[in-house]
Structure 1
Amino acid sequence: MHVGINSLSYGLAALAFLALAGLLLGGWSRRRHAGALLLACVCCAAWAALIAADAGGVAGAARWVDVMEVARNAACSFFILRLLGYPRPDARWRWVGYCAGYGAALLLALLPGWRLAQAESAAGVEGLALAWLLAMRTVMAVAGMVLVEQLYRQKDAQSQWAVKYACLGIGGIFAYDFYLYCDAMLVRQVSADIWAARGVVNALTVPLIAVAVARSAAWPSGMLLSRQAMFHSAALLGSAAYLLAMGGAGYYLRYVGGNWGGLIQVGFLFGAMLLLAGVLFSGTFRSRLKVFISKHFYRYDYDYREEWLGFTRKLSQQTPGPAERAIEAVAQLVESPGGALWIWRGGERFTVAAQCRMTVPPAAASGGAPDEDAAFRQSIERNQWVIDLGEPLQRAQVPAWLARLPRARLVVPLMLQDRLFGVLLLQEPRSALRLNWEVIDLLKVAASQVASYLALQETTTALMTARQFESFHRMSTFIVHDLKNLVAQLSLMIPNAKLHLDNPEFQQDMLDTVEHGVQKMKLMLQKLQRSDAPEAAGPVELGPMLARMVAQMATLRGSATPQPVFRCDEPGLSVTAAHGRLERVLGHLLQNAVDATPRDGEVALRLRRDGEQVVVEISDTGQGMTPEFIRERLFKPFESTKAAGMGIGAFESREYVAELGGRLEVQSVPGRGTTFRVVLPAWRAAEVPAIQVAA
C-alpha cells in the first residue's frame, strides 16, 4: 500500500518542481537568482523522481536516492545564500570550488552505506551507523532552517515582503525534514506515514516559491549582516570546531593510553587550549580573518561606518601626540603595525614629525638632499598617488632615504588644499594587502583628514606661542616699570651726594644702593636685552670667535670642570651673519653643554668644513635627551628644564640659524650625551657687495 502512496506522493513533488523549473527556463529566465533556484528545482525534482521510481520497483534507483537528497539540501542552501548576497561576484569560480568541496564532504559524512528510501528497509536496523546517519541528516535540516531564519531576520520590511514566501517554502522543506529525522532518532526507525507524506509536503511548497519568484524584482542583492557579527561568529564557530576536534582527540588518547590515559588527555587538552588562546589573541590571525570575511562575504572590503568611527575615535584620544595618533588612525585602516610621518617644512626638506612602532634612522629623520626632496614633493603634488613600495616601478619614484627603510610598504601623501603637507609611511600590513581602488580612495580620504587635523594642531600651537610672546611683552612692561623705579632712586642720590658726599655713612648707603640697583638691572637685562636696531650682517670668522668664547668660559669657571676643548680642522672658515647674534647663539649652546655635563664629563667644540657648508659641533657627555623631548619640548618657546630659564634660547637659536639659510641638528642618546650641530653656508667674497647694499 505504501509503495503506491510513495510513488504518487513523490511523483507529484517531482512534477511540481519540474513545472517551476520550466517557468524558470522560459519566461522567468531573467529573474534575479533564477540560475540558483533552477538548480535547486532540478535537484528537488530528481530526488523526488528517484524515490517515486524506487517505490515503483525501478531497479537501480535506490542507490542514488541518498546522493540526490544531499544534493537537494545543498542546492536549496545555495539558493538561500544567493539571497543573502553570497558569493561575491568577483570570486564566483572560487565559490564553485567551495560548493563542490561542500558536497563531497557531505557525501562522505552522510553515506555510510545505509539508505532511507524505503521505510521497511530501515525499520529494524540498529547500530551506530544508523544513529550517525540520522543525526547528520538532522544537522543538515537545522543548518537549512538557520539560513532561512538569517535571511528573513536580516532584512528590512520591504525585503521581508519579497523573500517571505521563499522562506516559507524552503523553510518548510527543511522543517519537515527535521521533524522526520527527529522522530526517527527517537524510535530508531523511519515512520512510513511521515515518509510518504514528505512528497506531498514538498509539492505544497512549490506555489510558495513561485510567488516568491514573482516578487523577485525586490529580492535583495546584498546582505545586511554586520561585519562584527560575522567576525565573531566565524571566530566562535572555528573555536567550537577546533575544541570539538581536540576533545575527540583527547578522548582517543585517553582510550589508548592505558594507565597514563587520563594524564595524557588532560595535558593534551590544556596544550590545545593554550594554542587556541594564542591564535585568538594574535593580531595577524584577526587581521587575516577580517580580510577573508570581507573578501568572500561582502561586496566591499570595508564597513565605512565602523572604519570612520574608529578613525575619528583614534584621532580624538588624549595620548600619544597628535602626529602619533594620526599614524595609528591611518595604519589601522590597512592593518599596518605602524609607520612614520614627515612634514614638509621650511620650503626645502622633509622633517620627521612622529614615529609609531617604527625606528627612523638619523639619516632619514631630516629627509634627503634638498633637490631630491623638492622633486619628490612636486611629483606627489602633481599625481597625488598612494605609492606601493612593493611594486618595483612605484618604488623607483620615491627618494632612496624613504624607500630603503625597513618593512616600508605604503607612502600616503597628506594633501592640504592641493598642496603637500607631508607624507605618511606605513609598514607592511599584518595580512596580505591588495591595493585596489577601494583601499586607495579610503587612504586618500583619511590622509586628507589627517592633513587638516595636523595643520589645525600646528596653527593652534602657533597661536598659543604668539599669545605667550604677547604675555612676555606684557611682563616686560612691568619690568620696565621696575627699571624706572631704580632709575628714580639713583637720580635722587645725585643732589644728595652734593650735600653729603663727605659723610661716611651716606657714602656707604649710596654704595649699597647702587650695588643693589646694578645687580637687579643686570639680572633683568640678561633676560630682556634686545637691540632695537638689527645688526648688519657681514663675514664672521668663526675660529677666533669660538676660541675667545672657550677662553672666556675657562676664565669665568676657573679650576671648575669640565673645561671646554676647542678643535679647528681648518682655519679661516667664515659665514655671513650678524656677529653679536651669532655669538649669542653659539654661546648659549656652549653654556647649555657645560651646564648639562657632570664635573667628570667632557665638552668638545669642533669647527670643520663640509663641502660648501661650515659645521660647528658642540658635544657633551651629559645626561642626554629622549627623542620625545627633542621633538616636543626642546625648541618649544617658554619650555625650560632650568629653574631660572625662560625657555627661548633653543627656539631663538634654531630660528636665527634657519634665517641664515642653515639648520640646527640635534643628536642625543639618554645617559650618553648630546651633540648640537650648527650647519651654515660658507661665506664667499662675492657676497660682500650684496651685504653692503643691504646694509
Structure 2
Amino acid sequence: RGWLAAAGGLALTSWLAAAEPRPLAAIIARLGMSVLGMLLVEHLYRGTPPASRWGIKFACLGIGALFAYDFYLYSEALLFRRVNQEIWAARGIVNALSVPLLALAVARNPVWTAGLSLSRQIMFRSAALLGSASYLLAMAASAWYLRYIGGVWGTLMQLACLSGAALLLSGLLFSGTVRSRLKVFISKHFYQGRYDYRQEWQRLTHALAEDSATLPQRAIQAVAELVESPAGLLWLRRDGADFQAVARWNMPLQTATEPADGALCGFLAQRGWVVDLPEWRADPQRYGMLGLPAWLADGQGVRLVVPLMLERSLFGFICLAPPRARLVLNWEVCDVLKIAGRQAASYLAYQESARSLAVARQFESFNRMSTFVVHDLKNLVSQLSLLLANAERHKANPAFQEDMLETLAHTLGKMRSLLLKLRRDEVAELSAPLPLEPLLAQLVRACAQLEPRPVLESCEPGLVVLANRQRLERVIGHLIQNAVEATPRGGRVAMRLLRRDAAAVIELSDTGHGMSEQFIRERLFQPFESTKSAGMGIGVFESREYAREIGGRLEVSSAPSHGTTFRLVLPLHAEAA
C-alpha cells in the first residue's frame, strides 16, 4: 500500500501541475517524475503476492497509463524543445479513460481508507478566518464604493466604514455567544457527532487537575464548558446531612438546602438522568411527575441539573445556566455530561477523603502525644512515690534531703515541660548539639533514691550527638525506670557510655528477670503491650521511634533469668566525630 500511495501521490502531483511547462528544466523534471512513477507502479505489481494481484492490477493499469502518457508527452517535448498542443490536449482524455480503472480497483478494495479526519479546531479557526476575510472584503468594497460616490466626504466615509467594520469584527470574534453558535453549526453540518471525545476528555482532565482555582469551582467550569454554559452551582452532601451549595461559578450562591431523601435527590440517585428544566416544564410525565423544589422550578437561571454519581450513590449535582447557543439535549450530550459528572465526582470525593484523612491524622497525632504525656506523668508519679516511701526512713539524713530537693526540682521541670507540650501554640522540638556525659551524670543523680540504685560505670568523654535534650532525657530515663522495676532488691543496674566507630552507644544493663526472644520479637516494641499491671506499653516504642527519628537505633539482648541489656546507638555530631 505504501508503494501504491507513493505512485498515486506522484500522479496527483502531476495532475495538479497541469499547466503547460515552458522552460526546458520544467520539461525535464516532469519527464523524470513520469519515469519514477512507472518504476513505482512496476515495483508495486511485482512486489505483490500473485494471489493478491487481482486487487491492484486495475489500479496499476490506471496509474501506469497516466505516467506512460506523460512519458510520451514530455519525451516528444524534450526532443523538439516544445510541447505539442494536440498531444497536450489529448492528455485530459487519457486521464478520463483511467478513471474507470481506478474505480474498479477501489471497488475491489473497500477497506482502502486513509484514516484521516479534519481537526475540529482547524475547522473552527478556518471557518472563523474565512468568515472574517469575507467580511473584511465586503467592508473594503463598501468603503471603496462610499469613497467613490462620496465626493468631498468620500475619504472620511471610507475611514469611518473601515473603523466601524474593524470594531464590529473584533466584538464578534471576542463574543462567547458567537463562538458557541459557530461551534454548534460546524459540529452539526460537518461532523457526525457533536464532540471530539479525545479533545474533550483531555480538556476535562486538565481542568480538574490544574491549580488555577479551587477544585469545586474547576469542576463546575469543566462540566459547564461541555455545553457552553456561562455559569453553574455545585451542591454536595457534607457530613451525612442534606445537600447544600458549596461552590459557584458566575452564579449567585443558594442558601437553601436540598434534603437527601427529597424528590430531586431521589430521582437523580435512582435514574442518574440529566434533568432539562424546559423539557420538565413542557412534559413532566417524562420525568415521572418529578416534583422540583421551588428555588429550582420557579427560577429561570438554571437550564440543566447534572448528577455527580460515585459508583451507585449520588455524591452531588451541578446546576448549569442556559447555554450561550441553542442546545439540543440528545443522547450524546446527556452521555457526555453524565460521564463528566462521574469524573468530577471522583476528584471531589478524593479531595474529601484527603481532607478527612488530614483531620484524622491530626487527631491521631494529638492522641499519640497525649498518650506519651500520660506515660511520662506515670513515670513521674512512680518516682515521687518511691521518694515518699524512702522519706520515712531517711528524712533526717542531710544527704537524702539534698537528693530529694534535686529530684523534686527535676520532676517539677519535667511537669512544666509536659504542660508546655500540650499547648496548641507549641513550637516544633528542635535538635541541637548535646554532650552525653553531663546528661547521663544528671540522670543517675536524679535516680539516686531508686532501689537498686543505678550507677554510671564508665563514660567516654567528649561524645556529642544532635538531639532534643528533653526527648532524649525522657527516653533514657524511661529505660532506667524499666531496668530498676525489672531488677529485684540487691540486683544491679549499670550504665556505660562507649564509642563505636562514628556513633555513641549508651549501654544499660540490669540483672533482672530478662525476656525471651519471642517476647522481644513479637511484643517488646509493640505499642500498648506491657507485662506490668500498671504499665501502658509505649515507653520502649517511643524510645525506638525517637532513636530512628535522629538517625540511630535501639538494640536489645536478653534471656530469661539472666537480665537485659539495652543499647541506644546514636550518630555522633559532625564536629565530635
TM-score by length of 2: 0.49
Which structure has the bigger radius of gyration?
2
